[in-house]
Structure 1
Amino acid sequence: MRIVIAPDKFAGTLSAVEAAQAVADGWHRTDPSATTELLPLSDGGPGFVEVLHAALGGKVHEAQVTGPLGAPVTAEYLLDAETATAYVESAQACGLHLVPSADRDPGRTTSHGVGELIARAVGAGARTVVVGLGGSSTNDAGAGMLAALGAGPADALSHGGGPLADTPGTLDLEPARRAVEGVRLIAATDVDNPLLGIHGASAVFGPQKGADPDQVQRLDAALTAFADRVDPTGETRATPGAGGAGGLGFGLLLLGGTVESGVRRVLEAVRLADRLTGADLVITGEGSFDSQSLRGKLPHGVASLASEHGVPCVVTAGVVKVGRAEAAAAGITETHALVDSAGSVEAAMSRSAEELRSMAAAVARRWSR
């Protein structure tokens, strides 16, 4: 058999690379003769640069940038010199994993470091900058990113979403626009949320970053006040994807950027369609396979492409919250949850690699026949 193993990360436990290797190791326990092709993936969140570097080559550049709480962090961007295209992973500069649980406060985390990475990439010769959105700790509508590129007043924009409720003085975005003049900016995301409202950045993603219901309301009001000043027509704030990464999508749109599917860009870069030719099975997965997964996240993208090529698709996940009928409608043949085999969420997370190996071995016993 020939199996393509193409998972996303299992958030909090395994990187996409580690997850793919665990599945391959487990499969070979049962079927040593199988050919397993490892293809770790990302939808724009953590792992975006690593995955694209493996697929495209290019050079990874390291930079010290401002982290989400103001302290410096080390981040990377990928530069493909042939196409003058840079790939920036926003989570490396403002990711939730960079903020200790006790300090998580989306009212004060900043996207400033993302702007610094963009500036470094442009300075290195990039004429297209693809910013992967996902896994952020921020809810500042990209204000910190804009400040890093020259928007002002810089101090008022660089301290998170909370202070945006009453930013003093005149907001000047022109220096930031000049900093990326002639550069194509792309927000790579697979969320279609607008900036504001019940489906916006604060309401949907704020609680994941530490906001309680009262703070969600305050943050939405702060982002509304900011948007009223920089987006008077209201058109940009309503664009699907503007709410990605706590509104970082909105900030990129204000600079003339566009929103594209992160999954589609990655799947095209790794040439998944070509790799599916002649495959007997594709295995994908992520930490939590839920209703959001069916709205264009990575397993859905892999399953859709597999279905087009007539290849069965199995999803392995930490937790599965999607029914069989819903999964089948998305082109998914089977789903398997580590929680079911491990007995609890805690057990699944504490020994996720071994549980994933055991699950893959069990799947192989059925499919290898």
Structure 2
Amino acid sequence: MRILIAPDKFKGSLSALKVAENIEKGILKVYPEAKIEKVPMADGGEGTVESLVDATGGKIIKTIAKDPLMRDIESFYGILGDAKTAVIEMAAASGLYLLNQEERNPMLTTTYGTGQLIKDALDKGCRKFIIGIGGSATNDGGIGMAMALGVKFYDKFNHEIEFGGKELIKIYSIDDTNIDERIKECEFIVACDVNNPLIGDKGASRVFGPQKGATKEMIEILDSGLKSYGILLEKKYNKKIIDIPGSGAAGGLGAGLLAFLNAKLKRGVEIVIETLQLEEKIKQSDIVISGEGKIDYQTVFGKTIAGVAKLCQKYNKPLIVIAGSVEDNQELYSMGINSIFSIIDKPMELDDALITAPELLIKTSERIFRLIKAVKA
């Protein structure tokens, strides 16, 4: 029996690789001769670096970068097993979680640290980039990122602007003559699971600004700034940016990546599936096991399991899903999932479930495959 184990992380408990390893232990108790392949998955958000590094035999790179308020922090990114592909979570340098509640102010926060991570990966020979842009603390349109890579922004008095979303409205001209030349040799793919345009009612500032600390007055300033900035970008680079779905992601970082790095925006789980060649692995499997910490209504909207299910359905492969908690959602069965199992086998507190997750995963996968063996017999 050829078994593919392709789970996401159990948030707050286990990495995707640890989930896969514990599922494997349960299977081997029943089918010790099974051919098992483990592919740690992610959806482009938190945990993507770790999953892709684990799945490809790559490495985590730790480096110093600026946080959203330009303070030095220890940050990280991944280099995949091919030694040429960098995986960056922008939140590792420019994320909301790096700030306490009182520090959150998108008028001041910058994506400069994200640009530093890109530059460090360039220095290490990477020429393909996968960048996840969820969880940002910023609303600067990616100008900080661009500054770190050599782009300069000037006001109408020919003075260089400072950092933060408040500076967008001041931008009068953009000088990219000193942008890192190595960027021309690179491919940038951005994991972006939101369709928000740069400005307007569904734009970066109005939709995401409040959670980053923006008041109503700030939102108006930020949206106006992104509008004038977007017009400048479209004119300079002769391409549509403002209305492109995803240009408003991460406070307009999507727009900056489109303009300065000629990036392509794609759904996160699709990028992971392509990078890990999951489709071919599913084709060669007899049965597929996936999972995540919580199965709920969000699962159908492009999360890891939805991506795996689509491929299993395409190749008529049985898919079993194991989760920490399961909310009733009949839509999941029409997606290509054959059955869903919770690892919780008795009433318990959440903290206890998180601590005992490895043991619960082993027991659950063993029970599943004992049933499969009995049916096959």
Fold-level similarity (TM above 0.5) = yes
Give 1:263 deviation, angstroms.
2.2
Task: Determine the structure 1 residue equivalent to 2:113.
Answer: 113
Task: Determine the structure 2 residue equivalent to 1:244.
Answer: 249
Alpha-carbon distance in structure 1 between the residues aligned to 2:345 and 2:163: 44
Alpha-carbon distance in structure 2 between the residues aligned to 1:367 and 1:202: 51
Structure 1: gaps of 5 or more residues: none
Alpha-carbon distance in structure 1 between the residues aligned to 2:324 and 2:163: 36
2:186 paired with 1:187: no
Alpha-carbon distance in structure 2 between the residues aligned to 1:205 and 1:360: 40
Q: CA RMSD in A?
A: 3.6
Give 1:66 deviation, angstroms.
1.4
Q: Which amino acid aligns with 1:302?
A: V
Whichever of the two has the greater Rg, that structure is 2
Alpha-carbon distance in structure 1 between the residues aligned to 2:275 and 2:9: 18
Q: Which amino acid aligns with 1:191?
A: V
The answer to whether the 8 Å contact 1:46/1:92 transfers is: no
Task: Determine the structure 1 residue equivalent to 2:225.
Answer: 226
Tell me the matched-pair count.
359
Task: Determine the structure 1 residue equivalent to 2:42.
Answer: 42
The answer to whether the 8 Å contact 1:264/1:301 transfers is: yes
Instruction: Mark the CA change 1:239 to 1:308 in structure 2 (over 3 Å): closer, same or farther.
Output: same
Alignment of 1:37-186 (within 5 A): 37-56=37-56, 61-69=61-69, 70-78=71-79, 85-96=85-96, 99=98, 105=104, 107=106, 109-153=109-153, 158-159=163-164, 161=165, 163-164=166-167, 167-168=169-170, 170=172, 172=174, 174=176, 180-186=183-189
Instruction: Mark the CA change 1:11 to 1:32 in structure 2 (over 3 Å): closer, same or farther.
Output: same
Give 1:6 deviation, angstroms.
0.7
Alpha-carbon distance in structure 1 between the residues aligned to 2:61 and 2:136: 21
Alignment of 1:14-33 (within 5 A): 14-29=14-29, 31-33=31-33
Alpha-carbon distance in structure 2 between the residues aligned to 1:216 and 1:340: 46
Q: Which amino acid aligns with 2:144?
A: G
**More moved, 359-368 vs 216-225:** 216-225
Instruction: Mark the CA change 1:157 to 1:275 in structure 2 (over 3 Å): closer, same or farther.
Output: farther
Alpha-carbon distance in structure 2 between the residues aligned to 1:176 and 1:349: 49
Instruction: Mark the CA change 1:92 to 1:276 in structure 2 (over 3 Å): closer, same or farther.
Output: same
Alpha-carbon distance in structure 1 between the residues aligned to 2:356 and 2:96: 22
Give 1:353 deviation, angstroms.
3.3
Alpha-carbon distance in structure 2 between the residues aligned to 1:42 and 1:355: 21
Alpha-carbon distance in structure 2 between the residues aligned to 1:350 and 1:56: 27
Alpha-carbon distance in structure 2 between the residues aligned to 1:360 and 1:222: 53
Alpha-carbon distance in structure 2 between the residues aligned to 1:57 and 1:174: 36
Aligned residues with identical type, % of pairs: 34
TM normalised by structure 2 equals 0.78
Task: Determine the structure 2 residue equivalent to 1:11.
Answer: 11
**More moved, 265-274 vs 303-312:** 265-274
Alpha-carbon distance in structure 2 between the residues aligned to 1:218 and 1:365: 61
Structure 2: gaps of 5 or more residues: 155-159
Give 1:40 deviation, angstroms.
0.5
2:337 paired with 1:335: no
Task: Determine the structure 1 residue equivalent to 2:371.
Answer: 366
Instruction: Mark the CA change 1:147 to 1:38 in structure 2 (over 3 Å): closer, same or farther.
Output: same
The answer to whether the 8 Å contact 1:143/1:157 transfers is: no
Task: Determine the structure 2 residue equivalent to 1:263.
Answer: 269
TM normalised by structure 1 equals 0.79
